[in-house]
């Protein structure tokens, strides 16, 4: 089994729109395989299970002393989960050990940025499973099933679950700071230019992409102490409607050319730095998809809330890193703390895409 066969989203029926995939887990692993053959066998087993999880299944009778073939957490009627998306992503360290000949030119380890407080135990990984579905039980069932299929070869490294709030009629879902998140995004018709790889020198990567995952704590106790207008200036948007401060509805485009000094939308606001909407910065746009996470309490009794920020792009340096560098020192940094994540390569899959929707 070569890498080409490790395609993501095997056997995909038409993917559910992301708004219906409100739950996700990002689970990073290191491979403990000791040979290329073992690694390929493991990847093959994972791919088979991913295909099977989506299809209706007939319960298999097992010997009385053997463990059941399925965890049973979705009940006895194994209807399959057509809304399930599972992507296998490969970190730079995967290619350090295996399939060096298939290493995409753009894969590299996640770097540390100015405002990061990275925990090495929550960063990187040889391989990541990105699992998304409408319900959390579907996500966890798939994770358990795949962990079982990979037992002996996959050593868990870190994992973060996330979810999006129930859809409301008033637009994009809100993050823990109360702002709509996912309003402005790369559109499906722009994916060929900004998301999918198309490198003639590396034909096996054509139609693949790079996934960036960033685990970002949100310090809600501090956030809740500042005024609404300060919050809105930090993002550059109205909290209630999601409109840019100079607009009136969520989908209005900010008119930065009319406000060169930042009198209306501050020059340091998150949206203005992230996407200045100039010809020079257009190529750095990213396709974002974010999930809120909610853990328990930290050692000080503060709520452990945050964002699983993810984005897809064809060039991590020219896109995600360029955006992140523009955001360096933005006022929002006083209220967030990026602590983990990684960069992963998603190989092409045969047809279709699960990215052709808006998302956070
Ligand atoms: C836009 C929140 C981290 C890139 C936005 C918006 C909000 C937001 C509320 C405006 C609504 C929208 O258009 O989606 C946050 C929060 C973050 C975070 C709370 C951290 C906890 C990041 C990171 C990046 C990023 C790490 C990339 C490095 C963007 C971009 C936009 C955006 C590109 C769209 C700007 C536009 O096109 O107008 N974010 N964000 N954000 N954010 Fe973030």
Indicate the top mutation candidate among 217, 274, 311, 313 to test ligand 1's pocket, ranked by most ligand atoms within 8 A of CB.
274
DSSP 278-321: -TTTGGG--EEEEEEEEEEE-TTS-EEEEEEEEEEES-TIIIII
Task: Identify the band that residue 350 occupies on the pLDDT scale cut at 50, 70 and 90.
Answer: low
Lowest mean pLDDT among 7-16, 32-41, 43-52, 337-346: 7-16
HSE of 224, CA atoms in CB hemisphere, 13 A: 8
For residue range 252-297, list pLDDT tens digits in order: 999 999 999 999 999 999 999 999 999 999 999 999 999 999 999 9
pLDDT at 5 over 80: no
Would the CB of 287 count as within 6 Å of ligand 1? no
Please give the pLDDT value at position 18.
45
The whole-number average pLDDT for the span 7-31 is: 67
DSSP 64-121: TTSPPSS--TT-S-----TT-EEEEEE-HHHHHHS-GGG--TT--PPPPPTT----GG
What residue has token string 């040889």? 126
Lowest mean pLDDT among 146-160, 183-197, 346-360: 346-360
Task: Identify the band that residue 142 occupies on the pLDDT scale cut at 50, 70 and 90.
Answer: very high
pLDDT at 8 over 50: no
Q: Atom 28 in ligand 1: which residue has the minimum CA distance?
A: 324
Please give the pLDDT value at position 198.
96
Would the CB of 177 count as within 6 Å of ligand 1? yes
Task: Identify the band that residue 79 occupies on the pLDDT scale cut at 50, 70 and 90.
Answer: confident
Contact indicator for 186, 360 with CB cutoff of 8 Å = no
Residue 186 burial (CB count, 10 A): 20
Would the CB of 179 count as within 6 Å of ligand 1? yes
Please give the pLDDT value at position 68.
84
DSSP 109-164: PPPPPTT----GGGB--SEEEEEEESSHHHHHHHHHHHHHHTTTTEEEEEEEEEE-
Contact indicator for 197, 205 with CB cutoff of 8 Å = yes
Average pLDDT over the chain reads 90
Would the CB of 309 count as within 6 Å of ligand 1? yes
- State how far Cα 27 lies from the chain centre: 11
Would the CB of 336 count as within 6 Å of ligand 1? yes
CA 195, CA 316: separation in Å to the nearest integer?
A: 10
Total length of the chain: 360
271 CA to middle of ligand 1, Å? Answer: 6
The CA R_g of the chain, rounded to the nearest whole Å, is 21
What tokens does 350 get?
């045969």
Would the CB of 323 count as within 6 Å of ligand 1? yes
The ligand 1 atom nearest the CA atom of 272: 38
CA 90, CA 86: separation in Å to the nearest integer?
A: 13
Please give the pLDDT value at position 4.
40
Instruction: Determine if residue 118 is left, alpha or beta; phi over 0 gives left, psi from -120 to 50 gives alpha, anything else beta.
Output: beta
Task: Identify the band that residue 203 occupies on the pLDDT scale cut at 50, 70 and 90.
Answer: very high
ipTM of the modeled complex = 0.99
* Residues above pLDDT 70, as percent of the chain: 90
Q: Which of 255, 272, 285 is nearest to 327 (CA)?
A: 272
Would the CB of 275 count as within 6 Å of ligand 1? yes
pLDDT at 318 over 70: yes
The whole-number average pLDDT for the span 81-97 is: 94
């Amino acid at each position: 089994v070569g890498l080409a066969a490790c395609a993501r989203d095997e056997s995909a029926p038409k993917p559910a729109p992301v708004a219906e995939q409100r739950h996700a887990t990002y689970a990073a692993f290191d491979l403990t395989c000791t040979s290329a053959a073992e690694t390929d066998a493991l990847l093959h087993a994972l791919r088979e299970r991913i295909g099977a999880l989506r299809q209706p299944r007939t319960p298999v009778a097992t010997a009385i002393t053997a463990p059941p073939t399925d965890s049973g957490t979705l009940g006895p009627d194994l209807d399959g989960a057509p809304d399930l998306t599972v992507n296998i992503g490969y970190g730079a360290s995967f290619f350090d050990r295996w399939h060096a000949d298939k290493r995409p030119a753009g894969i590299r380890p996640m770097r540390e940025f100015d405002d990061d407080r990275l925990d090495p135990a929550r960063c990187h990984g040889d391989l990541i499973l990105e699992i998304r579905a409408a319900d959390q039980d579907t996500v966890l069932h798939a994770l358990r099933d795949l962990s079982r299929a990979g037992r002996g070869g996959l050593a868990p490294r870190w994992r973060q679950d996330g979810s999006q709030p129930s859809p409301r009629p008033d637009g994009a879902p809100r993050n823990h700071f109360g702002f709509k998140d996912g309003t402005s995004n790369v559109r499906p018709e722009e994916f060929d230019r900004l998301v999918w790889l198309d490198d003639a020198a590396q034909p096996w990567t054509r139609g693949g992409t790079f996934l960036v995952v960033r685990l970002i704590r949100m310090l809600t106790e501090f956030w809740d102490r500042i005024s609404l207008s300060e919050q809105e200036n930090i993002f550059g948007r109205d909290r209630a409607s999601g409109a840019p401060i100079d607009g009136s509805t969520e989908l209005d485009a900010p008119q930065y050319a009319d406000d060169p000094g930042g009198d209306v939308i501050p020059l340091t606001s998150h949206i203005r730095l992230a996407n200045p909407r100039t010809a020079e910065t257009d190529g750095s746009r990213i396709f974002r998809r974010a999930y809120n996470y909610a853990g328990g309490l930290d050692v000080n009794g503060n709520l452990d809330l945050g964002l699983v920020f993810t984005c897809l792009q064809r060039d991590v340096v020219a896109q995600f890193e360029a955006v992140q560098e523009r955001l360096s020192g933005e006022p929002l940094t006083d209220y967030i703390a990026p602590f983990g994540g990684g960069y992963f390569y998603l190989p092409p899959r045969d047809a279709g895409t699960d990215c052709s929707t808006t998302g956070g």
